[in-house]
A and B are shown apart, each in its own frame.
Chain A
Amino acid sequence: MRNVFVYCELEDNNVADVSLELLTKGKDLAGQLGVQLEAIVIGSGLENIGAQIFKYGADTVYVADDKRLSPYTTLPHTSIVTGLLKEHNPQIVLFGATSIGRDIAPRVASAMRCGLTADCTSLVIGDHYVKKTDTTYKNLLYQIRPAFGGNIIATIINPDMHPQMATVRQGVMKKEVFDENHQGEVKKVKVADYVKDEDFVIEIIERHIEKSKVNLGASPIIVAGGYGVGSKENFDLLYQLADVLGAEVGGSRAAVDAGYIEHERQIGQTGVTVRPKLYIACGISGAVQHRVGMDQSAMIVSINTDEHAPINSIADYNIHGDLNEVIPKLIKFYKKNTK
């Protein structure tokens, strides 16, 4: 059976959210294909890691447990993943589009000589017909992502050279327990069989990892600004509105690139994906890379001087006007009506 594999990342020896989301998606894909879901975990002190993974539907977990494997470095992890993939010949392999996933996945893809699609926003099983050879490829993985500055949505497939590999950002897929009682098998990886001493050439001198202070994903209300906000100072207005509404502030890539707001608040394909109850987009034109990061919001309000901004077509409310005029009024009326 050619199964679905997920490379699981660790944060303080817990499986990272992005990996749990991928396990959830991987279980769904494996179900459609009638195959099993398998996970790879590499680190140190992983005696009980299986319990965290099995309830998301994994049938097998390959655990490589060795002091030298934590924290993550590229070469030893690549050697183990590549070795396991060559042995087990999966059809699909998923990685988080994180600092680690985007470091290891291309290296593995190159060693496997297979395709890799970065930052997918949707993964779907489907067929592919090639007219020239009159061949139908059954059950390929459609890897769907915005491309070319977000002006197009591309569906990528890897018909011949498998496994089909993809990376997905945190928050894009939903995390859902498959079955609290689902049990799988832990298979211990003999690390020495996969890793050479030369794999440990990179020396980590210092690490300074901080838990992100911003938690956009968990906020029910988000006030987001784009390039149209105009300046870092004008973003203060957004913070004021967020403050009275109990919201978090986010920004589009254009706003981050312009230096109006810090990178950790970026929403969209190359930032975080959010699904709040209310999304207030201020001066955001709404390129597709931004929209894929927020279009699942329950309610979208667009404040924009441009009536034809693309974001207006997915909004529930369009406020035509300058945010410098609109936001202070919104704050005033909110205070007035909630007293």
Chain B
Amino acid sequence: MNGFKIIVLAKQVPDTRNVGKDAMKEDGTVNRAVLPAIFNPEDLNALELALQVKDKYPDSEVIILTMGPPRAADIIREAIYRGADKGYLITDRRFAGSDTLATSYAISQAVKKIGDFDLIFAGRQAIDGDTAQVGPQAAEKVGIPQITYAEELISVEKEKITIKRRLENGVETVAAPMPVLITVHGSAPDCRPRHAKRLMKYKYALTKTEMKDADDLRKELVEKRPYLLIEEWSVDDIGADVKWLGLSGSPTKVKKVENIVLAAKEAKQIDTSDEQLEEFIKELIENHTIG
């Protein structure tokens, strides 16, 4: 084959960047219902780098892999509209409560099931946790090297990929043999938009779970066109041991969650009048804070 088998790891996340006043419930827990669910931003950068490899080697196959509740199928459809070939949704109640270690175990099992891949791309981190741990942990569990913080695809040849990395204080260009897992930084190129023809072709794609609630017409359509069925994998499908999943497989436990309550402090209130602002500046100069 004159192409590569590429897996892209992606996550559906609550949009924590635009948290409004109603994001927290009165009891101090997060009100997920009001937060829109989005494609984790850096996972879109990861998808773009994967599609760039496919641009160069059109026989490549880009497979999107996500883990989450049934509605995370949205991520797979979105990735397919933008150019991914197909996707798998890992979904099972027994995954609930998984921390990054348990999540990376589940992902590594799914990756092994897909098998025979050359490259894995993943966003550097997800905006709901910002941990940047699942990528490297999945690489370790699959037993392949990792390149973190990719910013640019420099070249890709048979069995070797060259990547420019974004570090906190500079850049580094590295070459790695395949297979390798690459986490992608937000400074990498933005993902290309949806492709109109692909949108038309795949907008009726459904998972089995979604099929249950679909109308007859749509069911019929998916049955007639098998490429519209998005495959779902359970714990058993990926051959995972439940001991390493969910709460039991997660070494980290949340002991306590505190809603942010700010201790009110006596603050001086100042308006925009010249008198008050000049008085404020004089005060800072007098107590040697400035000047």
Contacts and interface: CB of A to CB of B under 8 A. Distances in A.
The reply to whether chain A is a binding partner of chain B is: yes
Contact of A151 (B19, B141, B173, B254): B19
A207 interface: yes
A319 B269 CA distance: 6
B101 A113 contact: yes
A338 B170 contact: no
Given A102-B148, A320-B270, A325-B272, A315 B265 contact: yes
B251 A115 contact: yes
B170 A111 contact: no
A257 B147 CA distance: 24
Most buried by A among B149, B173, B255, B278: B255
A205 B265 contact: no
Interface in A69-91: 74-75, 78
B96 to A, nearest CB: 16
Nearest to A272: B168
B216 interface: no
A42 interface: no
B264 interface: yes
Interface string B245-283: 000001111111111101111011111101001101110
A70 to B, nearest CB: 13
Interface stretch (B84-92, B132-140, B222-230): B132-140
Interface in B156-205: 162, 167-177
A6 to B, nearest CB: 19
A1 interface: no
A106 B136 CA distance: 6
A74 B173 contact: no
A212 B169 contact: yes
A330 B279 CA distance: 10
B269 A320 contact: yes
Nearest to B28: A152
B259 A115 contact: no
Contacts of B111: none
Given A99-B167, A149-B17, A206 B172 contact: yes
Contacts of B115: none
Interface in A273-331: 277-278, 287-288, 298-299, 302, 310, 312-322, 325-326, 329-330
B290 A245 contact: yes
Interface string A184-226: 0000000000000000011111111111100000000100000
A210 B263 CA distance: 41
B145 interface: yes
A103 interface: yes
Contact of A333 (B140, B251, B278): B278
Contacts of A329: 272, 274, 277-278
Nearest to B136: A106
A118 interface: yes
B146 interface: yes
B16 interface: yes
B265 A318 contact: no
A326 B141 contact: no
B100 A106 contact: yes
Interface in A146-176: 147-161
B60 to A, nearest CB: 22
Contact of B277 (A99, A299, A333): A333
A151 B260 contact: yes
Contact of A318 (B30, B177, B267, B282): B267
B285 interface: yes
B207 interface: no
B23 interface: yes
B124 to A, nearest CB: 9
Contacts of B174: 202-205
A110 B100 CA distance: 9
A334 B146 contact: no
B272 A319 contact: yes
Nearest to B15: A149
Contacts of A159: 253
A205 B175 contact: yes
A22 B282 CA distance: 40
A117 interface: yes
A208 B265 contact: no
Contact of A99 (B100, B168, B274): B168
B104 interface: yes
A338 B285 contact: yes
B2 interface: no
A98 interface: yes
Given A161-B251, A315-B265, A334-B281, A106 B260 contact: no
Interface of B: 14, 16-17, 19, 23-24, 28, 30, 99-101, 104, 127-137, 139-141, 145-149, 162, 167-177, 250-260, 262-265, 267-272, 274, 277-278, 280-282, 284-285, 289-291
18 contacts: A107-B137, A109-B101, A110-B101, A110-B137, A116-B100, A148-B30, A148-B128, A149-B17, A150-B16, A151-B19, A158-B252, A160-B251, A203-B174, A204-B172, A205-B174, A287-B19, A325-B272, A330-B281
> Shortest 8 CB-CB distances between A and B: which pairs?
A149-B16, A115-B251, A321-B272, A161-B251, A313-B262, A115-B252, A209-B170, A110-B140
